[in-house]
Structure 1
């Protein structure tokens, strides 16, 4: 079996923080006394908190700075992160992580999330011991769909590209893996909307399909 490293995206693959971000944003909008339409909120998908806050300031003529709004939003997010009872790991992912770890496969997280959020997730769910490395796209020059994050992850794992696999759930992440020439498994959940899986090597909706026996045929 020549699969030697798995490079995990985090949001939508290990956890789904989108519902928490949504609750935190809408609580922030209430606090700022602004009415944000679903259409405007949808346009924020994939944008940094700073950019969202700047948009709100210009759109609603707010007197706050983007730092002040970011602080309010992050405070609400943290509260939901630790106290929202529905927030958990994506079904089956812990079992898959343990399965790879027990079989000596190097695991790296390569996420666009901030390192603060990555560390919060790792601490809350006790994932630290399984992973060799963590990369936050926020610390890199280029962001997905640029391949930089996955090339760096393969380097940290110390494995050649053809012995690595990326697990992604977004169009940009799949494109980044494709551009890095790394085998990509797309995870399609019930929460995945409007993502393009055409460039993925395989598409699964159950993590059991990514166990070593299932995918070894791709890594001869």
Structure 2
């Protein structure tokens, strides 16, 4: 089947907001007076903010609501987003997005991030015109590794699963794509630690490897 649509995860795929989220979360943990071990923090990869906050409330018996915790974290995140000089697009991703767009591929953003964060990224880096649709964590009943996000993204693109490809970098995202029955290209980011690429259909470390002529053998 020909490739008609590419469903992009955002975090770790288009931008690496992970270091910003990390700084914002650990500042928030300090404010809440809790110690979150590295092992627990790693399990949050791919979770929506709501799910992270609910996990913290449950694990640490916090009295704050999820909205209060999310609010603290959001303020820290915003500060880092606009002021951290190391924050940029992942190398090669803008060229890849333009390449698909120029070749008539429908692009959908399928992310667990909030729509606020998605819009901040799209505005900062001028991505709006390339994408036909955006799905955020708030639009979903289930978090990855549940396939809902990619099933919705394929519907939004107006394509069947076999005409789509997902680009993901996390264990949860790859599993979600696999469960949705959609071809998954895993981007092996230097930033994503301890992620499992076993279920990905192809694994790349460099975005030019996902240009249409290079992946034509799969479609």
SS at match of 1:13: coil
1:156-187 alpha-carbon deviations (Å, 9 max, x no partner): 11222222111111112111211222111111
Q: Compared with structure 1, are the counterparts of its residues 21 and 164 closer, same or farther at alpha carbon in structure 2 (3 Å cutoff)?
A: same
1:100-127 alpha-carbon deviations (Å, 9 max, x no partner): 1111111001111111111111111110
Q: Compared with structure 1, are the counterparts of its residues 78 and 172 closer, same or farther at alpha carbon in structure 2 (3 Å cutoff)?
A: same
Residue matched to 2:93: 93
Q: Compared with structure 1, are the counterparts of its residues 54 and 184 closer, same or farther at alpha carbon in structure 2 (3 Å cutoff)?
A: closer
Alignment RMSD (CA, Å): 2.3
Residue matched to 1:218: 218
| Alpha-carbon offset, residue 188 of structure 1 | 0.5
Q: Distance in 2 between matches of 1:162 and 1:56?
A: 38
Gaps of 5+ in 2: none
| Alpha-carbon offset, residue 62 of structure 1 | 5.7
> Which range is displaced more, 140-149 or 116-125?
140-149
Residue matched to 2:68: 68
| Alpha-carbon offset, residue 26 of structure 1 | 2.3
For 1:1-220, what aligned pairs fall within 5 Å after superposition? 2-53=2-53, 64-219=64-219
TM-score using structure 2 length: 0.89
Q: Distance in 1 between matches of 2:12 and 2:112?
A: 11
TM-score using structure 1 length: 0.88
- Count how many residue pairs are aligned between Structure 1 and Structure 2: 219
SS at match of 1:91: coil
SS at match of 1:23: helix
Q: Distance in 1 between matches of 2:59 and 2:178?
A: 37
SS at match of 2:195: coil
Q: Compared with structure 1, are the counterparts of its residues 146 and 83 closer, same or farther at alpha carbon in structure 2 (3 Å cutoff)?
A: same
Q: Compared with structure 1, are the counterparts of its residues 46 and 180 closer, same or farther at alpha carbon in structure 2 (3 Å cutoff)?
A: closer
Q: Distance in 2 between matches of 1:56 and 1:160?
A: 37
> Which range is displaced more, 36-45 or 209-218?
36-45
Gaps of 5+ in 1: none
- Contact 2:108-2:133 within 8 A present in 1 as well: yes
Q: Distance in 2 between matches of 1:80 and 1:95?
A: 25
Larger radius of gyration: 1
